[in-house]
C-alpha cells in the first residue's frame, strides 16, 4: 500500500456502482487518493450485514458491476478488498447443500457447529467465556439433513461460521484469495479474523490457534502478491501483537484519543500512544462500523489498562451525543456494564459540525505515522442519517448514500475543500516520506514534525482551542497554514 491517503467506500453508496465510483475517482476526486478500499461488492452487497454475509464471495454483485470494473480501479490505484474469513451467508450454495443433505454433503465439514468445538459438551463457565460482539450465545438451531444442530453464528443468525481448519473451508478461502489477486486487488483485509478459530476452554477470540491460522493465511496471500491488513477490534495489546504477524493493522486507538484531546485539551493519552504504537498502522478516525472505543479503553483482564479510563470514555460518549444533537448511538461490550465498544456517528457530527475542530482532527490523523484511510462520509463531512426504526442497525447512521451529483456539490463546501487541500499536501510533500519526531510540549499542546532532505513539515496544536500552526518547507520555500 503506497504511502498516500486511501479512501474507504461502499460502491453502492458512493456513486451507486463500481463504474460510478471509478468515474468519481478519475473525475472530481482525481489525485486525492493513492488507493481505495471498496467495501464488500460481492453477491449480495445488501444482505443481512451490508455485504459482510456473502452468498458468493467469488462473484461481484451484477447490480454493482463485474470483475473487469475491479480491474479498472486497480490500473491507477491500490485496491483493498475484504476477505470475510469467519463466515458466509446461510443462503450460500454450500450451506444450503448441507441443510439439504447433512453429512452426505461434500461441504458438511466446512461449517462450524457447537459439537465440533465441544464434542464432550460445555460447562456454564465454558460458554460464559466465549467472546462475541453481540449479546447472547453464538449459536443458531438449524436442521442439517433433517437433524437439529447448533450452528456457530458469531455475528447474526444469517452469518454461518466456517471451520477454517477444515480442507473444504480452506479451499474456499484459497479460491477467494486467487480471485482477488487475479483481478487487480493489491491488499486483502481480513475481516473478523479474530474469531476465526474456536477452541474449547478459551474465549474463542484471538486464540493461539487463530494466530497460527493468520500466519499461514498471510503466507498464502504473500505467495499471490497480496498484502495483508488485519482488522482487530479489541484492547490495543491484541492489535500490537497482530502487527507482528501481518503487513498492516488498523490504528483504531487513534480516533478516541484525538476526540478526547479536541474535547478536553488533554493531549497526554494521545502522546503516550504515539510513543508506543506499533509500526505498519493504517490510521482511521471513522469507518463503516463507526468510531471505535474499545481499543483505547481498559480490557477485561486486570493487566489490560486503558489509555482512556472508563470515566473518560463516558465523558467522550456524552460529548459526542450532545454535539450530534442526540442522534449518535453507542454500543457496549457484551457482558460488561462498563465497556463502551463503538459510537455510531459521523466524524463531522461527533465534533458538532465545527469546521475548525473537524479540520484539526483530520490534520492530526494525516500527520501521525501510518497510512491514512478516510471514510467516504468523513471525506464529505456528512451528517448522521436518522434510523428508519429505533431498533435498526445503528451503523446505518454513518452510511449515507451519495449519488454522483451530490458528491460534486459536497466538494464545494469550505470544510471539504480544506480537507482535500490537506490530503493533497500529505500525498505530495516529500517530508512525509522521511522521519517523524514527537517533540516536547507544554501540557495541552502537541508538537510533531516530519523531515527529509531539504523538506520539513512542523505541526503545533492546542486542541482545546482548535488552534494549530502547520509550517511546511520544500526547496527553500516556507509557508504557514493556521486555518
Rounded to whole angstroms, what are the CA distances from 448 to 60, 277, 326, 369, 470? 43, 15, 34, 10, 10
* Active-site residue identified among 12, 78, 231, 247: 231
Residue 462 · residue 265 · CB < 8 Å: yes
* Residue of 236, 210, 249 whose CA lies nearest to 299: 236
Give the total residue count for the chain: 483
457 CB-near residues (< 8 Å, 6+ apart): 367, 429, 431, 432, 449, 450, 451, 470, 471, 472, 473
Q: For residues 409 and 412, what is the distance between their CA atoms, to the nearest angstrom?
A: 6
Residue 313 · residue 338 · CB < 8 Å: no
Residue 147 in grid coordinates? 437433524
Q: For residues 381 and 375, what is the distance between their CA atoms, to the nearest angstrom?
A: 10
Residue 294 in grid coordinates? 474499545
Q: For residues 211 and 209, what is the distance between their CA atoms, to the nearest angstrom?
A: 5
Told to judge if 231 belongs to the known catalytic residues of this protein, a careful annotator would answer: yes
Rounded to whole angstroms, what are the CA distances from 322 to 390, 396, 414, 415? 19, 19, 24, 21
Which residue shows C-alpha cell 480442507? 167
Residue 375 · residue 345 · CB < 8 Å: no
Told to judge if 220 belongs to the known catalytic residues of this protein, a careful annotator would answer: no
Give me the residues paired with residue 340 across strands: 332
* Active-site residue identified among 161, 191, 266, 355: 191
Q: For residues 443 and 474, what is the distance between their CA atoms, to the nearest angstrom?
A: 30
Residue 452 in grid coordinates? 527529509
**Known catalytic residues?**
191, 231
Amino acid at each position: 500500500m503506497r504511502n498516500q491517503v486511501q479512501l474507504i467506500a461502499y460502491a453502492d453508496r458512493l456513486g451507486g456502482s463500481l463504474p460510478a465510483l471509478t468515474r468519481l475517482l478519475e473525475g472530481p476526486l482525481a489525485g486525492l487518493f493513492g488507493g481505495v478500499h471498496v467495501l464488500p461488492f460481492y453477491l449480495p452487497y445488501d444482505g443481512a450485514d451490508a455485504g459482510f454475509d456473502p452468498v458468493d464471495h467469488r462473484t461481484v454483485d451484477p447490480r454493482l458491476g463485474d470483475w473487469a470494473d475491479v480491474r479498472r480501479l486497480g490500473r491507477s490505484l491500490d485496491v483493498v478488498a475484504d476477505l470475510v474469513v469467519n463466515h458466509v451467508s446461510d443462503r450460500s450454495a454450500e450451506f444450503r447443500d448441507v441443510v439439504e443433505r447433512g453429512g452426505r454433503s461434500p461441504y458438511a465439514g466446512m461449517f462450524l457447529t457447537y459439537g465440533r468445538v465441544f464434542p464432550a459438551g460445555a460447562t456454564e463457565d465454558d460458554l460464559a467465556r466465549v467472546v462475541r460482539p453481540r449479546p447472547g450465545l453464538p449459536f443458531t438451531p438449524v436442521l442439517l439433513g433433517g437433524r437439529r444442530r447448533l450452528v456457530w453464528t458469531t455475528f447474526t443468525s444469517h452469518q454461518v461460521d466456517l471451520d477454517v481448519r477444515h480442507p473444504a473451508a480452506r479451499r474456499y478461502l484459497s479460491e477467494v484469495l486467487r480471485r482477488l489477486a487475479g483481478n487487480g486487488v493489491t491488499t486483502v483485509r481480513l475481516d473478523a479474523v479474530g474469531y476465526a478459530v474456536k477452541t474449547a476452554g478459551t474465549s474463542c477470540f484471538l486464540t493461539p490457534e487463530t494466530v497460527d491460522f493468520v500466519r499461514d493465511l498471510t503466507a498464502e496471500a504473500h505467495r499471490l502478491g497480496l498484502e495483508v491488513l488485519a482488522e482487530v477490534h479489541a484492547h490495543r495489546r491484541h492489535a500490537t501483537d497482530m502487527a507482528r504477524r501481518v503487513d498492516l493493522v488498523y490504528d483504531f486507538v487513534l480516533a478516541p484519543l484525538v476526540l478526547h484531546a479536541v474535547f478536553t485539551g488533554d493531549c497526554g493519552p494521545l502522546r503516550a500512544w504515539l510513543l508506543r504504537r506499533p509500526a505498519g498502522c493504517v490510521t482511521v478516525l471513522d469507518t463503516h462500523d463507526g468510531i471505535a472505543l474499545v481499543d483505547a479503553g481498559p480490557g477485561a483482564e486486570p493487566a489490560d489498562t486503558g489509555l482512556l479510563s472508563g470515566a473518560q470514555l463516558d465523558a467522550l460518549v456524552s460529548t459526542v451525543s450532545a454535539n450530534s444533537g442526540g442522534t449518535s448511538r453507542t454500543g457496549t461490550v457484551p457482558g460488561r456494564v462498563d465497556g463502551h465498544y463503538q459510537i455510531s456517528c459521523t466524524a463531522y457530527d461527533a465534533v458538532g459540525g465545527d469546521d475548525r475542530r473537524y479540520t484539526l482532527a483530520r490534520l492530526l490523523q494525516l500527520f501521525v505515522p501510518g497510512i491514512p484511510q478516510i471514510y467516504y462520509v468523513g471525506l464529505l463531512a456528512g451528517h448522521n442519517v436518522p434510523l428508519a426504526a429505533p431498533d435498526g442497525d445503528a451503523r446505518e447512521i454513518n452510511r449515507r448514500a451519495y449519488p454522483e451529483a451530490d458528491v460534486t456539490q459536497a466538494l464545494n463546501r469550505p470544510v471539504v475543500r480544506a480537507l482535500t487541500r490537506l490530503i493533497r499536501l500529505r500525498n505530495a510533500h516529500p517530508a512525509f516520506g522521511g522521519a517523524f519526531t514527537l517533540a516536547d510540549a507544554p501540557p495541552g499542546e502537541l508538537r510533531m514534525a516530519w523531515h527529509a532532505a531539504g523538506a520539513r513539515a512542523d505541526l503545533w496544536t492546542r486542541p482545546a482551542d482548535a488552534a494549530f500552526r502547520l509550517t511546511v518547507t520544500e526547496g527553500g520555500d516556507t509557508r504557514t497554514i493556521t486555518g
